[in-house]
Structure 1
Amino acid sequence: MRKITAGLFISLDGVVEDPQDWHFPYFNDEMGAAVDSQLGAADTLLLGRSTYDSFAGAWPDREAAGGEDADFAKKLGDARKVVVSTQDLQLTWRNSEQLKGDLVEAVGELKNEPGATDIAMSGSVSVVRQLLAAGLLDELHLLVHPIAVRKGTRLFEEDDAPLPLRLVSSQTFTTGVVHLVYAGAESTPEGSYDDAKAHLPQNEDS
């Protein structure tokens, strides 16, 4: 079964909305390599409609322009792009198709299809939330920026149940961005202050 990974630019206070308004000053070679390894290397992309529309409105023109980002644009263009939407779409970007049927069922089937790489997501926050809740998202790649945006949609909505995660890896970039990779955890850790206080520093003279 193939893994699904989701990459998001996120602020220190959890905002993921409109990253183009605040994240570009932090984009360097380290972040470029992280994005390329998660998104650019994938042969299949799973995208929400808004993210797809944004990508389709920009990357084909960037590929055609032949600039510094043309190689990355070609990778995205060559990848199979599966778009999540409840509306009938007219998809103009090459190698694009719409996901049909129930999201959870259809994504489960997609994970079972053959492929050479992980299935990659970028943005698509509403889809990420649904797949996390269904246990279908295997890795969450968060590029945490050292800025509090203080407005906009946050990755995690309020809910009665916590969502336990397990840290897979971490890397700090020279810009102060921290690249955190999380996978789902089976259960929420349990403990009380009585458990925690044993780990406080002890005065040897007391």
Structure 2
Amino acid sequence: MRTVTFGINSSLDGYCDHTIFNPSEEVHDYFTSMMNDVDLIFFGRIMYQLMFPYWADVARNQSGTDDENRFAQRLTAIDRVVISRSLDNVEDHTRIVRSNPAQELLKLKQQPGKKILVDSVSLLPQFLSVGLIDEFHLVVHPIIVGKGRQLLNGGSLQEKLNLKLVDTTVFNSGCVALHYLKQ
């Protein structure tokens, strides 16, 4: 059975709005390296629209810094599933799923392959409630923002989830990458 991993950037106070961060080269390289073990990314519509076509354009034109270009190349080379009832058009290597995201993820988890990366804050509570997330990669940035999208809204989990810290990386930028496994 495949491993399902959840990876995201977060502020110290738990906000996950990608527009508030300015990732360093080390952070881009961390996520690029993490994706070497991934052959499918599972997006919600909002995160998909935030990530694409921006990173697809960077990959195509090599218009970012070296680390951004490497990240964009890796991200766009991986097959993707996006959960959406409203999207009509998606980038190459992307399939739209209209309903039952947890059922779809469970089906994909049971197929052979590398890891599946979940990149959706809105789908996280549903996936956690049915035990689909096996590991977490959280990069905490040294910033307090006080508003925006939180990793989990109050009351979105029925039971606490115990995790085991397996790796910590401290970056020169002050960011800390935390790698946890579900116990």
Instruction: Describe the SS at the equivalent of 2:5.
Output: strand
- Runs of 5+ unmatched residues, structure 1: 186-206
Does residue 121 of the first structure (1) align with residue 138 of the second (2)? no
Work out the CA distance in 1 between the residues paired with 2:153 and 2:137.
18
Residue 5 of structure 1 contacts residue 38 of structure 1 at CA under 8 Å; is this kept in 2? Answer: no
Match of 1:89 among 75, 83, 87: 87
> Which piece of structure 1 moves more, 67-76 or 27-36?
67-76
Work out the CA distance in 2 between the residues paired with 1:4 and 1:72.
20
1:116-155 to 2 correspondence within 5 Å?
117-122=114-119, 124-155=120-151
Q: Partner residue of 2:59?
A: 63
Work out the CA distance in 1 between the residues paired with 2:82 and 2:179.
24
Work out the CA distance in 1 between the residues paired with 2:161 and 2:70.
37
Does residue 9 of the first structure (1) align with residue 6 of the second (2)? no
Residue 7 of structure 1 contacts residue 140 of structure 1 at CA under 8 Å; is this kept in 2? Answer: yes
Larger C-alpha radius of gyration, 1 or 2?
1
Work out the CA distance in 1 between the residues paired with 2:131 and 2:78.
24
Shift of 1:45: 0.8
Work out the CA distance in 2 between the residues paired with 1:98 and 1:171.
34
Work out the CA distance in 2 between the residues paired with 1:170 and 1:133.
26
- How many residues matched? 178
Query: 4+ runs of 1 displaced by more than 6 Å?
Result: none
Does residue 78 of the first structure (1) align with residue 77 of the second (2)? yes
Q: Deviations over 1:116-165 (max 9, x none)?
A: x211133x101122212211011111001111111112112222643322
Identical aligned residues as a percent: 31
Residue 168 of structure 1 contacts residue 181 of structure 1 at CA under 8 Å; is this kept in 2? Answer: yes
Note closer, same or farther for the CA distance 1:93–1:145 as it changes in structure 2 (3 Å cut): same
Shift of 1:104: 1.9
Match of 1:163 among 137, 158, 161: 161
**If the length of structure 1 is used for normalisation, what is the TM-score?**
0.78
Work out the CA distance in 2 between the residues paired with 1:168 and 1:48.
27
User: RMSD of aligned C-alpha atoms?
Assistant: 1.9
Residue 169 of structure 2 contacts residue 176 of structure 2 at CA under 8 Å; is this kept in 1? Answer: yes
Greater strand fraction, Structure 1 or Structure 2: 2
